[in-house]
Structure 1
């Protein structure tokens, strides 16, 4: 089972939020662009990892980064996008900040848009005086200007080929053993003692056994911090995971940065 393929945008979004707290607006712009590339749909509330829930509004933060960097046009473009406008109203504190900054940007752009009035060309004289001092000759009409050539019609762009239908995936509950699913539910619900009682050796399939060791290691790491027993048991499970499946990595949507750091440091 691979649980990390669909969570890249959550990791990018989490990093973007941390960069916004630090005032690193270039990093905010980069991380939010990565998040939008993976998932452009804003949401009022998503789970980033564990029990951490946040509004998912990458367009708002991308606009805020542009505003902080002096790009008012880019900021207004992000804030007025349909994805952002449909959700930001349900997040009052972010909506209030967006409204203040939008008003400031509109004022700046209005000042930049003012131009000096153009000077009119001097008028032409009416007619010329007759050589004998009599009545002036009437003005001669100007020759008609040639019509500009009509643009040639542009060829229609080729129509994209329809995408082949995506293969239907087997439901997760049919691919994952029931005890392993129950362990993940207990972990997300904060019932770490229940997870620690899980026996990975009861799973015959190596991938399932590696996932069982991984979730038990995460529960042992948190329990060790709560009761002061340390992370030795968690490290032992991590080493067993690496022996079974060296390519397995903790999903950022499920596991905290502290556990992922412990996992990467344990060999």
Structure 2
């Protein structure tokens, strides 16, 4: 898998020279290098950092030293999800407006994306298809043909095995039986559906949808804190895109609401950009 002619030569030098608080170009270059190495966890982390700094894709940007390469972080987020078996997220990234507007002009990447899209659509269709019922075993009895060609004779049913005697009841135990452990609830049932959809919209770069989320609609404090956190991150990115001081103030207000609902909650570096994490730490 190639990310564009020439970019592989520059990646090692760029990764070594980039500071800790790297800008989106350094994060993007590291993500492309990780994709070449098949390190999909790192690809997902670095491309999310790049999207947090600059969500718009571009046919070409100056990556390093005057070298111009395609900037398509949503494509790589989808590629990482595809290789991790998450077809739903892969299709959401590839079909996002930011990716669709640029990927059509990159034939090599578009061809690979189309192949993987077809594979994902087939997988999802197979998962939703109902399984055929298992054939029932043949019943005992029937007819067999006599060796001399005479009239078929009935095949006698096989005798049923004798039924085992019922076990003798055990005397009652003096110790009380321990209650069974409750079954683990799946993640999709533990996380409210609107909050799950807000995270998908954030990862897909649809920040305006996330800003419309109402965290106060969640009664459970942890879910409400998560809702304020994801809305704060979306507001911070949208404010920087619009150069809006009021938008940044709204993001800070959401961060204060996160701390009030769950003081121990902190932004995950794999999901949130360095700029947002810096704003989160500075807001009291």
* TM-score, scaled to structure 2: 0.40
State which structure, 1 or 2, has the greater radius of gyration over its C-alpha atoms.
Answer: 1
Highest RCO, 1 vs 2 (Cα 8 Å, sep ≥ 6): 1
TM-score by length of structure 1 reads: 0.42
